Amino acid sequence: MEGTRRLLIIALDGATFDLIDPWSAQGKLPHISALMKQGLRANLESTIPPMTFPAWSSFMTGMNSGKHGIYDFTRRVPGHYHLEFVSARSRKSPTLWKLLSDGGKRVGVMALPTTYPPEPVNGFMISGFDSPVSTGTDPSFIYPRSLFGEIKERVGPYKITDFQQFRMGKRWHEKALKKIRETLQHKAAIAAYLLDKEPWDCFMVLFGESDTVCHHFWMFHDPDSPRRPRKFKQEFEEAILSIYQRLDTIVGQLISQVHPGMAVMLLSDHGFGGAGDKVVYLNRWLERDGFLKFRRGAQAGVWGASALRAASVKFLPLRLQESLLRKGARAANALLSQTQIGAIDWGRTRAFSTEMNTLPAIWINLRGREPNGIVAPGIEYETLREELIGALPRFLNPETGQKVVGRAYRREELYHGPYMNQAPDLVLELGLDNGYTYTCLSSCGRRGRIPMRVLKANERAGAKGQSMNGSHRRQGIFLFAHGQRPRKGRLSDLSIMDMAPTILAFLGLPVPPNMDGRVILEIAENKLGSGVSNATTHFGT
């Protein structure tokens, strides 16, 4: 029988084979290239839509959002027209880390989104970002708390993204790229220190810098981007490559630290591509087609809320913004709700959108569920969903004549489980504008009824919350190499929900029958060790 199996998981948030493959072929990513040659490879399908919080929650639970309850960075408060930010407390299903800990495995988890506040584990957990303004940390981010001081003393304080992304001034990209590089190297040093502390059964570290750099520098990287400026510094054109190359070096360094028999998994939560220069206002489209009405005179209040929100981003220091968001959550949530849906006339609205770019969707103003719902459950509800699905193909890009919405899913087509009722009634998969994504922004506080516009030249860089120039794609990456049992080749596309059951099975623990993901037998096969022989190829309904 083989000794105890161990697994190193390195996550490169937003990494895509669209970048890795050509750069590997050119010899620019030697360590990632070696992993591809030595082991198994697959496309890793993300959630729909492919967004950070639901994707990593599905990774950690092996379940769809209808079971773990996280659909976006925010959620609708049941029974109210309010939005609130979510956290690890919002997740309703046990995580991979709890299951491993309960099974006696020693785990180390670093920088994974939606892990704040950290849960007690058999090992340590350092939370990833818990809100859109996360940058610094305090002892509440780390379990056990004593590790906070140890890391600070031995390596330096742990930081998430040590610069603001909501407003862009002079030399912003130059300063941002410098900060991304510095944060990446410091995070790698902390990971290396923790990895050496003991022989972990499962150690995972996430690097979000691959996501951040693509959001802000895609327009420089892509010569066909409609947002590409006429003049820019040459180093910006290779900013994404430079971060990937640094990550490649870090991957090599971390792998060199572990025992040769330790398995290595490299993955991402989604892929990446470019954002176009078109902005979509879903509530203006719903208004134009007679599904929604705005309250007369309500825009003034929304403009005030929008101005307050913009001023807080512009003038308050990042640390103060973070503190207010955590300690003054009620006020932050109220401000968010007012700026997104505060001007809607609920008594005359049948359908509306929260207009979150991370979750393009439509809600029915349902009687009995919403405070001022006007659509009856049952036949009227289903008829309205059919009407919306039939009307959405008529929402066209005036320049190309192409459909703005590629597909509208009824929520039960994507999700199942006890928390499916928290999902929007229709989830929209937006089409592409000549290969580039549309961006959803809030209609509230905006004059005019046009549901789409072209960004102005000074808007195309796109700060966070204002249409960033790089955007997510559904296909992420998956690589797996095991020194003791080398297997090579390509697998068919995997789901991000397959990761938790496969990791459990590989490490010799039982897989809960309510997981939706399947065990990847090429990885968790019996001859790698004991404890996997009872694993079946698929779980869930």
42-61: per-residue pLDDT in tens?
A: 999 999 999 999 999 999 99
Q: What is the pLDDT of residue 162?
A: 65
The one-character DSSP state at 56 is H
> Is residue 360 reached through a cis peptide bond, with omega within 30 degrees of 0 on the bond before it?
no
Handedness of CA 334, 339, 345, 348 (dihedral sign): negative
Q: Is the dihedral of CA 484, 488, 490, 492 positive or negative?
A: negative
For residue 18 the two structure tokens come to 């669209």
C-alpha–C-alpha distance, residues 84 and 75, integer Å: 6
With beta carbons less than 8 A apart as the criterion, state whether 452 and 397 touch: yes
**Cα–Cα distance, 278 to 265 (Å, whole number):** 37
**CB-CB contact of 134 with 160 (8 Å):** yes
Mean pLDDT of the region 254-264? 91
What is the token pair recorded at 359?
A: 């979750």
| pLDDT band at 111; cut points 50, 70, 90 | very high
Alpha helix segments (H runs only) across 113-171: 146-154
Distance between CA 210 and CA 462 in Å, rounded? 17
Helix 209-221 × helix 172-195 angle, to 10°: 150
434 has a pLDDT exceeding 90: yes
Task: Give the Cα separation of 302 and 286 in Å (integer).
Answer: 19
Q: What pLDDT is recorded for position 134? A: 52
Mind listing the pLDDT tens digit for each residue in 330-388?
Answer: 555 555 666 678 889 999 999 999 999 999 999 999 999 999 999 999 999 999 999 99
- In this predicted structure, the answer to whether residue 79 has a pLDDT above a threshold of 50 is yes
Least confident window among 99-108, 410-419, 479-488: 479-488
pLDDT of residue 445: 62
Over 165-205, what HEC string results?
Answer: CCCCCCCHHHHHHHHHHHHHHHHHHHHHHHHCCCCCCEEEE
**pLDDT over 70 percentage in the chain:** 85
Q: What is the mean pLDDT of residues 261-273?
A: 96
- Residue 501 phi/psi, 5-degree rounding, is -65, -35
Band of pLDDT at residue 526, cut at 50, 70 and 90? very low
Alpha-carbon torsion angle 294, 295, 298, 299, nearest 10: 30
Distance of CA 278 to the CA centre of its chain: 22
Find the distance separating the first CA and the last CA of the chain, reported in whole Å.
34
Cα dihedral across residues 387, 392, 396, 402: positive or negative: negative
The pLDDT assigned to 367 comes to: 97
Which residues is 233 bridged to in the sheet?
none
- Reduced to 3 states (helix: H, G, I; strand: E, B; else coil), residue 461 is coil
Of 182-196, 286-300, 330-344, highest mean pLDDT: 182-196
Q: What was the pLDDT predicted at 391?
A: 98
Structural domains in the chain, CATH included, are: 7-270+474-528 (3.40.720.10), 276-294+344-462 (3.30.1360), 297-336 (no CATH)
> In which element (H, E) is residue 470 found?
strand 470-473
Query: Residue type at 307?
Result: A
Q: Report the distance separating Cα 483 and Cα 260, nearest Å.
A: 6
pLDDT at 95 over 90: yes
Residue 360, both tokens: 């393009």
* Nearest Cα residue to 505 out of 490, 521, 492: 521
Phi-psi region for residue 48, left (φ > 0), alpha (ψ -120 to 50) or beta? beta
Residue type, 85: F
Quickly state the pLDDT bin for 137 (edges 50, 70, 90): confident
Give the pLDDT band (50/70/90) at residue 534.
very low
Cross-strand partners of 266: 10, 479
C-alpha 530/C-alpha 535 separation (Å) is: 11
Q: How many residues does the chain have?
A: 541
- Tell me the pLDDT of the chain averaged across its residues: 88
